Amino acid sequence: MKSREINSLFKNLGKVIKNPKTDLSYKNKFTLLISVVLSAQCTDVSVNNVTKSLYKKYNKPEHFLKLGRKRIEILIKRINFFRNKAKSVYLLSKQLIEQHNSKVPKNFDKLIALPGVGRKTASVVLNEGFGMPTIAVDTHVFRVSNRTGLARGKNPDEVQKNLYKVVPEKYIKNAGHTLLLHGRYTCKARTPSCKTCVIIKYCKYKKKEFK
Q: Catalytic annotation on 23?
A: no
185: left (phi over 0), alpha (psi -120 to 50) or beta: alpha
- Both ends of the chain: CA-CA distance in Å? 27
Give 105's DSSP letter: P
Give 103's DSSP letter: P
Q: Which of 120, 157, 161, 201 is catalytic?
A: 120
Per the CB < 8 A criterion, the answer to whether 123 and 106 are in contact is no
Beta carbons within 10 angstroms of residue 191's beta carbon: 8
Q: Which of 11, 23, 109, 138 is catalytic?
A: 138
Q: Catalytic annotation on 138?
A: yes
Give me the active site residues, please. Answer: 120, 138
